[in-house]
Chains A and B, each alone.
Chain A
Amino acid sequence: MAKIQETSLPGVGMRHEFTTQSGDHLGVITHRSGRRDLLVFDRADPDACGVVVRLEEDDSDALAELLGASQVTQGVAKLRQEVGGLVIDWLPINPSWSCSGCPIEETGLQQQTGVSIVAVVRAGETIPAPDSSFRLQPGDMAVVVGSPDAIGQAIALLQKGEAAKKAVVPERR
């Protein structure tokens, strides 16, 4: 892979750039707002950009899709920060966890930690909004939403079940 250089632009964001094998110099500015600028440097004046393409977030996603890069991890990273204080997390249900095989309502997750299971991924298939009688099975991936602290508590609860309940002090901000 080409060597990518990073430069911070105070008050604007970050610039990443690299030279293509054919000698063109390309760059991307990631603005704090999430907007990106695709830069093609001028061959005659290598300090300046010959072409600047403004990309809103959707445009960046579309371009990345076209170029074959996986946007999934970035999308997740962004979601973690952006949903107003809430975090989305992916919890793999381990066979040793006390919750495996239990219906969701028996874990007491919602009542004790405020964390909701918004979807379960089982064998590559996504089950959206599982109801409270839905049984979690080992190997499931539970998609949960809650505050960062509550998710920590939720993991403890799902692992240890009843024993953890006393240890968990619900803390709301």
Chain B
Amino acid sequence: MNEHGAADTAQAAANHSAAIASVFMELGAVIIGLSVLARLAVRAGLTPIPLYLLAGLCLGKGGLVPLSFSEEFIGFGAEIGVILLLFMLGLEYTGEELSSSLKRGFKGGLLDLALNLTPGFIAGLLLGWSALAALLLGGVTYISSSSIIAKVLGDLDRLGNRETPTVLSILVLEDLAMAVFLPLVAVLLLGQGLVAGAVSITIAVTTVAVVLLVAVKQGGAISRVVAHRSDEVLLLTTFGLVLLVAGIAQRMQVSAAIGAFLVGLALSGSVAEKARNLVGPLRDLFAATFFLFVGLQIEASTLIPVLPLALGLAVITALTKMATGWWAAGWAGIALRGRIRAGTALVSRGEFSVVIAGLGAATEPRLAPLSAAYVLILAVGGPILARLSEPLSNLLQPRPQPIVAVPVTEATPVSSEG
């Protein structure tokens, strides 16, 4: 190599090193910023998701302190974040839980879909959006945040309550509905013709159904193959498997997120338990990155004009969610106070509304800002509303006197289970 070339190489190396230094510093500062926000959220007993979104807005285009170097990295982290969010969601439920929820809560699930997808869909159409963008907005308003709700129920000591199985089975069905909704939307977004589109949708949904069935029936066998006593081996195996299947699913145009969801479903028992503990921290890191990235992509100036609209949509869909919980709990034989608790618990929207909005950001420019504002309102407002259910019930019905006889609700006797 001649002297000139060597100098060039040295110069390139120096540039590269300087670029890496900038990216590290910027990423480090951003992540520390997120950790401070998470601290605040934990102290306030809230979910940090809206704060991450706000941080993204401040750092994004037209924000207070735009990022210069690391957006590419954050974008890549965000993709992994979506996959891990869905993987952990699949991990959350066992096959039996899915099928028992499907049997027990099917009627409630349908009501939930009808009452909560419709307002978003109609709002989209009224705004003059394409049917697809309106459908995505319907998805945003439909899906409650299972992570926020599970946390709120735990914090408020309501996990043992009789309305809780109803609430949880609605959440499970929403998550199952995502397994159909996401590939459907992924195909529609490709914008093929009617016939080609129909074929793709059929392929996508059939694939999901088959994998779902295999996952539920053969989950034990898959888990045994994955199982290992070393945490390191298990972490690498699961993470690799999730990425690989997500990639294959994406290639087959079924959406990467669904691939990850199905891997999560397929794992069960002690492997699932371990994977939850191992992948949980990774999910937290990458999901934070994802929410930040969604915020980054939104121009702060586009958020203000959609605020009234988001607020209106939030109010309407908070009411429809409350109606869902009210009726579903009523069908399960729950009394007034429990029905109010079930209704208010379901209002929170969060991570998956953001995921759905993220899918269609390119088709409709107003979808992302509107959804972000909507999630900001309901991720904060939902848990507050859940806490207000007690005073709300007292308003409607003075606290009843103690009764001795206890009605038996939809629980099944142990003897019939084994």
Shortest CB-to-CB span from A11 to chain B, Å, is: 5
Task: List chain B residues, Cβ under 8 A from A3.
Answer: 413
Q: A5-B408, A10-B169, A48-B338 are in contact. Are A81 and B270 (CB under 8 A)?
A: yes
Bitwise interface map of A from 17 to 55 toward B, beta carbon under 8 Å scored 1, else 0: 101000101010100110001010101111111001000
Task: List chain A residues, Cβ under 8 A from B270.
Answer: 81-82
Q: Is the CB of A19 within 8 A of B337?
A: no
Q: Size band of the A side of the interface?
A: 35 or more
Q: Is the CB of B403 within 8 A of A10?
A: no
Is A9 interfacial (CB-CB < 8 Å)? yes
Task: List chain A residues, Cβ under 8 A from B403.
Answer: 43-44, 46
> Residue A23 contacts which of B227, B334, B406 (CB distance < 8 angstroms)?
B406
Q: Is the CB of A5 within 8 A of B150?
A: no
> Residue B160 contacts which of A15, A45, A82 (CB distance < 8 angstroms)?
A15
Task: List chain A residues, Cβ under 8 A from B150.
Answer: 11-12
Is B68 interfacial (CB-CB < 8 Å)? no
Task: List chain B residues, Cβ under 8 A from A6.
Answer: 411-414, 417
Q: In the complex the two chains form, what is the Cα distance from A47 to B273 in whole Å?
A: 30
> Residue A4 contacts which of B161, B401, B409, B414 (CB distance < 8 angstroms)?
B414
Task: List chain A residues, Cβ under 8 A from B97.
Answer: 8, 10-11
Is B232 interfacial (CB-CB < 8 Å)? no
Q: Is the CB of A47 within 8 A of B101?
A: no
Is B157 interfacial (CB-CB < 8 Å)? yes
Chain A interface residues (CB < 8 Å from chain B): 3-12, 15-17, 19, 23, 25, 27, 29, 32-33, 37, 39, 41, 43-49, 52, 81-82, 84-86
Chain B interface residues (CB < 8 Å from chain A): 92-93, 96-98, 100-101, 146, 150, 157-165, 168-169, 171-172, 227-229, 270, 273, 334-335, 337-338, 341, 399-414, 417
A-B residue pairs, 10 tightest by C-beta: A47-B338, A84-B229, A39-B160, A43-B402, A5-B411, A10-B97, A52-B157, A47-B162, A7-B411, A85-B229
